[in-house]
Structure 1
Amino acid sequence: MPDEYTPEPVPPTVTEVAAAAGVSAATVSRVLTGRVRVSTSARVQVHDAIARLGYVRHRAPRRTDHAAAGLPVAAVVFEPTARLFRDGFCARLLAGAEEELSRRGVPLVTMSATQGTVASTTSFLTAGGVGGVLLVGPPPQHPVAVSLAASLVPVRAAGRPALSIPYADVDNADGARQAVEHLILRGRRTIATIAGPPASPAAADRLEGYRAAMAAAGRQPLIAYGDFTTNSGLHAAAWLLDRTPRLDGLFVANDAMAAGALQALRKAGRRVPEDVAVVGFDDAPLAAFTSPALTTVRQPVEELGAVTAALLLEPRADNPILPTELVVRAST
């Protein structure tokens, strides 16, 4: 008996988005193009309907007549500007992107997408004034990212995003696996992790790599969560020590949290690495200056920025994944 035929799901149309948003199809079109002013309430309704229905605008093939020559690429960072300048990861990523674009004669414009600027940022990015958009850390279903996904503007995320947008990323899962296997080879028996926010795709991939390596070694996972800040690493490490006194290995999902974990271990009278070996992730500049210096997983941040920028100018269908590397220092 032949297999039962299941038809492919029909993607939502502009008309269906308009009906779900309670506006006209013309209003949806205006929101998508950004060329005509639309009231903030109507724009929000359209963004919400696009997110609920999963509408994605069909993109035309990229033009090869150099019509976009000279237009800048916009890098949109989904953090307040003050944090952007304090965040070494963003600075390194944007430096890599800028160097690649400069080599090709294309300027880079950096913007933040805060709650109060959603409408104006979306209008600017979709009005034809930029040749492409590089997204850094878009939160799930952020209206700017959702609108760009439905537009004709070339867009690429640096790091796997939580919505359907082309991206380039580093191998977070394999980096975590390397970290855990290193701790096991160092003779550590009770290995915990401080994972990042569950909504972060990078944090989820690193947690997946930790779980896989622990399962392969026949070990039980021990998990605490932080938010990628130093204070959250301190509190998470203290929580783990209270519940698992025999803890002797710790993989932390970024270096800032690992620095906090080192503080917690020092306060608890636990020596690193004699009592507890610690591995971070990123190889941020601070990793070489913690006490002791931090063993960590190096991700090629500048290369990620360069590759993502290049893919905006020379698109391809796949989402490239860059390798990571374990850097061994005194904390293990």
Structure 2
Amino acid sequence: MVAPRPPGPRSPTLEQVAEYAGVSRSTVSRVINQVSTVDPELREIVERAIEATGYVPNHAARSLVTRRTDSVALVVSEPAGREFAEPFLSRIFTDPYLGRITAGALEVLRPEGIHLVIMPADAPAHQQVLRYLRQGHVDGVLIISSHVADPLPQQLCDLHVPAVLSARPGRPLPMSYVDVEQQTGARLAAERFIALGRKHPATVCGPLDTTAGQDRLAGFRSALAVHGYAWVPAEPGDFTRAGGERAARTLLTAYPETDALFVANDLMAEGAMQALRDLGRRVPEDVAVVGFDDSVSALACRPQLTTIRQPLEEMAAEMARLLLARIREPEGRPRSVIFHPEIVERGSA
């Protein structure tokens, strides 16, 4: 049973918490700062004393000493010069990708007492976001960006801001990143079509100014080349549902014989299947469809979407772990962690 809070007009001090718990001031400080070597029983005693006394740690004062904010930014970066079928803010907050990345990162950050700040960084907000990061409001940055021309990763390297990328960078950088074997995933889609006996495969690929778009297209084409396909039709989309629908209409108009369609993410695949319905093409009878991600969009499709699963929650958790390691050891060697994809067979192929 927790003892009643001691009376007093002022907030209790660290020393009063230590006296109440019967421990030293340094022990209380170690518990508050989440030092992992504190004995669990001792930690519980101190936490009870904090609750009983109503002590509130002075995070501002602690930040002056530790130079830590206990906050990490999740920056969704979008460089200038690209057109999308949907507005930027609408895309990032309706795309299941961001929700899964956020959930995976929080699994690691929340137990460490670290807050996650989501920051959209499209072209109009880019300098504002960069200024915020430069001013030290967060301890590090998780960057969602695979755009080859995005200047933000290089800028953060130049500023020595701890950061981890969600994909292989477009050019070599001394920055940790997490990715999936993109070409392997696309190869699994191609092999599925070959196993089904499809003769006219095509792809709605991702944006070709992204590493994911480039790698998935290259993997799909190279896997089919082994089976004698010297050319595979492709139409770039923008990773949105509307963009996938638009690209599929263009592709199917130009190549009506298409009987197998690899779509570079599930959200675009959902749009592509709408285009197929509008054109009177049945899935999978007339056209087999395979997506990429294994997101909630795959389950929303009718029939449900066969797709390439990338374990986004696990990938985001690894990003968070790499970032915490970088924050604690700024001079440590940057690391890459590559995950393995797998095909999830459902009704579309």
TM-score, length-normalised on structure 2?
0.71
Alignment of 1:160-175 (within 5 A): 160-163=168-171, 164=173, 165-175=175-185
* Aligned-partner SS, 2:154: helix
Give the distance between the partners of 2:303 and 2:108, measured in 1 at CA: 35
Paired position in structure 2 for 1:325: 342
Q: Which amino acid aligns with 2:158?
A: A
- Give the alignment partner of residue 299 of structure 2, picking from 288, 293, 297: 288
1:129 and 2:133 equivalent? no
Deviation at 1:275, TM superposition (A): 1.4
Task: Identify if the C-alpha distance between structure 1 residues 222 and 119 changes in structure 2 by more than 3 Å, giving closer, same or farther.
Answer: closer
Give the distance between the partners of 2:115 and 2:252, measured in 1 at CA: 49
Moved more, 114-123 or 307-316: 114-123
The one-character-per-residue Cα deviations of 1:283-324 (angstroms, maximum 9, x if unpaired) are 110211211111111111111111111101124533111111
Two-structure CA RMSD over aligned residues (Å) = 2.0
Paired position in structure 2 for 1:241: 252
Paired position in structure 1 for 2:41: none
Paired position in structure 1 for 2:236: 225
Checking the alignment, whether the CA contact within 8 Å between 1:121 and 1:144 is kept in structure 2 is no
The one-character-per-residue Cα deviations of 1:96-151 (angstroms, maximum 9, x if unpaired) are 11111112232222212233333332222123332211111264444443321211
Task: Identify if the C-alpha distance between structure 1 residues 188 and 159 changes in structure 2 by more than 3 Å, giving closer, same or farther.
Answer: same
Checking the alignment, whether the CA contact within 8 Å between 1:193 and 1:250 is kept in structure 2 is yes
- Give the alignment partner of residue 207 of structure 2, picking from 197, 210, 213: 197
Checking the alignment, whether the CA contact within 8 Å between 2:176 and 2:322 is kept in structure 1 is no
Give the distance between the partners of 2:247 and 2:296, measured in 1 at CA: 22
Equivalenced residue count is 267
Moved more, 256-265 or 182-191: 256-265
Paired position in structure 2 for 1:208: 218
Give the distance between the partners of 1:303 and 1:265, measured in 2 at CA: 33
Paired position in structure 2 for 1:28: none
Moved more, 279-288 or 155-164: 155-164
The one-character-per-residue Cα deviations of 1:234-287 (angstroms, maximum 9, x if unpaired) are 232223323323221111101122112212222222221111111011111021
Paired position in structure 1 for 2:264: 253
Paired position in structure 2 for 1:74: 73
* The structure with more radius of gyration: 2
Give the distance between the partners of 2:218 and 2:67, measured in 1 at CA: 40
Runs of at least 5 residues in structure 1 that lack an aligned partner in the other structure: 1-65
Give the distance between the partners of 1:127 and 1:70, measured in 2 at CA: 12
Moved more, 244-253 or 75-84: 75-84
Q: Which amino acid aligns with 1:292?
A: P
* Aligned-partner SS, 1:270: coil
Checking the alignment, whether the CA contact within 8 Å between 1:71 and 1:129 is kept in structure 2 is no
* Aligned-partner SS, 2:110: helix
The one-character-per-residue Cα deviations of 1:30-69 (angstroms, maximum 9, x if unpaired) are xxxxxxxxxxxxxxxxxxxxxxxxxxxxxxxxxxxx9455
1:114 and 2:122 equivalent? yes
Paired position in structure 2 for 1:265: 276
Give the distance between the partners of 2:325 and 2:204, measured in 1 at CA: 38
Give the distance between the partners of 2:120 and 2:243, measured in 1 at CA: 24
Paired position in structure 2 for 1:155: 163
Paired position in structure 2 for 1:17: none
Alignment of 1:86-101 (within 5 A): 86-101=94-109
Paired position in structure 1 for 2:93: 85
Task: Identify if the C-alpha distance between structure 1 residues 237 and 68 changes in structure 2 by more than 3 Å, giving closer, same or farther.
Answer: same
Runs of at least 5 residues in structure 2 that lack an aligned partner in the other structure: 1-64, 79-87, 327-332
Moved more, 259-268 or 304-313: 259-268
Report the identity percentage: 43
Paired position in structure 2 for 1:314: 325
